[in-house]
Amino acid sequence: MCVKQDDQMQSSTAVVNSTSRARVLAVFLPACGFTALMILLVLAFAWTLSKPGTGFFGSYLVLGSVLLVPASLIAVVVFGLALPRGNRLLGVAPIVVAIGAMSLWAVTWVTQWPLDVRFAASESDFQAVVEQIDPAALQHLVADGWGDPVAVPRRIGTYEISNASVVHGGVIFYEAHGNFFDDAGFAYLPQGPTDDLANGGFESPQWRHLRGPWYSWTASW
C-alpha cells in the first residue's frame, strides 16, 4: 500500500516538474526572443546613426526604437513575473540584457558615437581625396562661394558618395543616401563652416564637428 502511494506521489511530482519546465520554457524563450529583438534593434539603430543623415529607413527606425525598446522591456519584465516562483531568477537575465540594450540605445542617441567611430575609420581616405583635388578647381568659385562639382570616387572609406563640390575654404561631400528628403554628407573646412555657404540649393545647413577640419552636415534643398 505504501509502495503504491509512493509511486503515485513520484508520478504526481514528475507531472508537476514537467508542467513547471514547460511553463518556464513557454515564458523564458519568448523573453529571450524579445531581448534578441532589442539587441538587433540597437545594432541597426547604431548603424543608421553612423551616417551623416538618418535617411528614409533610418527615420522609421528611430521611431521604431522609441516605441519598441521600452515595449520590449515591459514585455520581458512581465515574462519574468510570469515564471514560477522558484524560477524567477531565470527572468533576471533577459531583464538585465534588456536594460543594458536600452541604456546603450540612449547613449547612442545622445552621443552619436557610431558616426564618430565610422568616420574615424574613413578619415584617411577622405583626406587623400582632398589632397588629390585639382587646385585649379579653386579658381572657379562663383559669388556665393561655391565652385563646380569635382570628380571623386564613388566610395570613400566606408561611405558611398554621390558628388562633391569645392567651396570657399574647403570641399563639400554628399553622402549618397542623404537625410530623408534632405541632403547630408561631410565637409572639409579647415577654417570652419561659414554662413555664406548657405544658398538656394544648400539651405539651412546644420553642422556637427567630427575631428580636425572635418564636419558632418545636413541641409535642405
pLDDT tens-digit series, residues 4-41: 444 444 454 444 455 566 656 666 666 677 777 777 77
Count of domains in the chain? 2
Q: Name the nearest CA neighbour of 173 among 203, 151, 142.
A: 151
Q: Which residue has the higher pLDDT, 84 or 172?
A: 172
Q: How far apart are the first and last CA of the chain?
A: 90
- Helix, strand, coil content of the chain in percent (nearest 5): 60, 20, 20
Residue 102 and residue 192 in one domain? no
**Which cell numbers hold the place of 132?**
588629390
- Given 111, 133, 156, which residue is the final one in a domain? 111
171 CB burial (10 A radius; 0-12, 13-18, 19+): buried
DSSP class of 178: -
Residue 69 and residue 18 in one domain? yes
Residue 106 and residue 7 in one domain? yes
Would you tell me how many other CB atoms lie within 10 Å of the CB of residue 125?
15
Residue 103 and residue 6 in one domain? yes
Give dist(CA 55, CA 49) in Å, integer.
Answer: 10
* CB of 187 closer than 8 Å to CB of 212: no
pLDDT tens-digit series, residues 60-114: 666 666 666 666 667 666 666 666 666 656 666 666 776 777 777 778 878 889 9
pTM of the full structure:
0.73
pLDDT tens-digit series, residues 134-171: 777 776 776 667 887 888 999 999 999 999 999 988 99
Residue 121 and residue 77 in one domain? no
Average pLDDT, the chain: 76
Q: What is the extent of the structural domain holding 147?
A: 117-220
Residue 80 and residue 180 in one domain? no
Over 50: is that where the pLDDT of 54 sits?
Answer: yes
Residue 106 and residue 165 in one domain? no
Residue 86 and residue 11 in one domain? yes
- Given 41, 76, 111, which residue is the final one in a domain? 111
